[in-house]
Amino acid sequence: MAETPSARSESDLPIAPVYDQADLEGFDPESKLGAPGQYPFTRGVYPTMYTGKPWTMRQYAGFGTARESNERYHQLVSAGTGGLSVAFDLPTQMGYDSDEAIAHGEVGKVGVAIDSIDDMRTLFHDLPLDKVSTSMTINAPASTLLLMYQLVAAEQGIAGNQLTGTIQNDVLKEYIARGTYIYPPKESLRLISDIFAYCHREIPRWNTISISGYHMAEAGATPAQEIAFTLANAKEYVRTAIAAGLDVDDFAPRLSFFFVARTTLLEEVAKFRAARRIWARIMKEEFGAKNPKSMMLRFHTQTAGVQLTAQQPEVNLVRVALQGLGAVLGGTQSLHTNSYDEAIALPTQKAARLALRTQQVIAFETDVTKTVDPFAGSYVVESMTDDLEGAALELIQAVEDKGGAVAAIEQGFQKSEIERSAYRVALEIDNKERTVVGVNKYTLDEEEPYEPLRVDPQIEVDQCERLATLRKERDNDAVERALDDLRTAARGSDNVLFPMREALKLRATGGEVSHALRDVWGLYVPRETF
């Protein structure tokens, strides 16, 4: 660099006080940048980016019952959101029904409880599924929720080829950072490859996976670790699909990614640009992709929940605006902006509306959408992009040296690296080396009162009653035969989604489907020490 660094980035890389032409010595715009919409896609995956239309504005929502969540979705659509993003409660995420003992106390708490096609039907009542793009934050039971969605759409007369949206379906990051896994890695990867094949045939416009760095970042991963471990996981998914007999250009165009946006705006912009460049080269050079769409890193962004504070929560509005701006300047395809009160409880309706308005102000009241990749050629951003690319490639190679993402997970590599970074940041905050406004500096003697939105415990009682009614009304013998067909497919090599769809159509519950697969595949038990 041109001068001795005086600061460090979130990735613990040096930041110089001044950047100039000397920092771009040997910089080749053609190989490093290309034109917008062209390989290696550093400047964005589409030629016009937001100059034609803005990104998809999603709001992540879901709480309590399917009926309550449906009401919130209608409010969001009326407020101008272009895509829905569904949050599920922990029992649903873990493949348990609301009436199971393990689900007690968690029903409807961090998302909506979906036990059967009946709940899914209520969740999307009167919503135009052929016009609204739906993202579902679901991983181990992603196939179950996707099939319920497809069945409900079919009841509305909407064919699979009309549906657009995304299932997160990224179980590898669950073993690293989040914990809502069910089956062992090998079987989880088998299920994911079955989803790829099923959607290629049945729901061709659906994004079959959202390979996620967001949750690793929330656990403490640096920007370099976030993109490195995300792309290492992505390589594992691609290898699995190819090993299952799929052609890379048949499934890769439907891969999507999910990243965080922090308040460190310059590094975040550089992170997104570096990630696109790395992925394009991986797909072209390592996997031999021919279709340019297979090389495009298309991603959704969510503003950093971990940076929100319960103290002086209104300050989070400023944080979210900066985070959202960073995502847009970095070229995201869709964006969720967190509500300012999420560090306290579930967002209120007003807070959710303000979060959406933040995106709308960025889109329609600033000039950042008037030109593609505003930071291209910036001394600092191009230098930081190169630095992040180099740091991420080193970490990707470290994962490869351990045998790939799954082997590295089993050795605890990614988890331990993230924990070290999280510990470093925690120490910096405790020692006041890192300022968090309202927490360790610029504090108030007394916080203003705030009345959070709370989930009524009666929801669990009502959900259990609905399940009891469902089990009385349906043909239980037919359900059990369908679940046996699912077990048979799981033992063999047939695509499990086809018998799973039949079971769900007969009103099998999500928990029953997951238990059928547990019977064959077992449960993943992590090693406690490494």
Q: Which pLDDT score, from 0 to 100, does residue 451 have?
A: 74
DSSP string, 170-208: --HHIIIII----S-HHHHHHHHHHHHHHHHHH-TTEE-
User: What amino acid occupies position 338?
Assistant: N
Q: Rounded to 5 degrees, what angle do the CA atoms 134, 56, 180 make?
A: 45
CA distance 529 to 412: 8
Which residue numbers in the chain have pLDDT < 70?
Answer: 1-6, 60-63, 82, 453, 527-530
What pLDDT is stored for residue 447 in this prediction? Answer: 82
CB contact at 8 A, 58 and 333:
no
Beta-bridge partner residues of 207: 166
Q: What are phi and psi of 342, to 5 degrees?
A: -70, -20
Domain boundaries, the chain: 27-38+52-430
The CA-based dihedral angle spanning residues 145, 149, 154, 160, taken in that order and rounded to the nearest 10 degrees:
-90
List strand residue ranges (DSSP E) for 276-337, in order: 299-303, 334-336
The pairing of strands 334-336 and 56-61 is: parallel
Distance CA 23, CA 379 (A): 7
What does the pLDDT read at residue 30? 78
Any bridge partners for residue 335, and if so which? Answer: 57, 301
The DSSP code for 20 is -
pLDDT at 3: 47
Q: What pLDDT, on a 0 to 100 scale, did the predictor assign at position 75?
A: 85
Strand partners, 136: 86, 167
**Domain range 27-38+52-430, CATH architecture:** Alpha-Beta Barrel (3.20)
Three-class SS of residue 112? strand
Whether the ω angle into residue 29 lies within 30 degrees of 0, i.e. cis, is no
| DSSP summary character for residue 375 | T
CA distances in angstroms from 304 to 183, 320, 414, 433, listed in the order given: 29, 8, 20, 20
This prediction's pTM: 0.90
d(CA 383, CA 15): 9
The torsion defined by the Cα of 54, 139, 109 and 525, in degrees rounded to 10, comes to: -150
Length of the chain as a residue count? 530
Residue 300, helix vs strand vs coil? strand
Residue 282 per-residue DSSP state:
I
Separation between Cα atoms, residue 504 and residue 361, nearest integer Å: 42
Quote the CA–CA distance of 293 and 256 in Å, as a whole number: 11
Structure tokens belonging to residue 219 = 């656990």
For strands 14-15 and 7-8, give the pairing.
Answer: antiparallel
User: Which residues, in sequence order, are CB contacts of 287 under 8 Å at separation 6+?
Assistant: 238, 242, 248, 252, 294
For 94, phi then psi, to 5°, come to: -100, 0
pLDDT at 31: 80
Tell me the three state secondary structure of residue 166: strand
Helix (H) or strand (E) holding 165: strand 165-167
CA atoms within 13 A on the CB side of 223: 29
Rounded Cα–Cα distance for residues 429 and 250 (Å): 47
How far, in Å, CA of 339 to CA of 323, rounded? 12
What pLDDT is recorded for position 529? 42
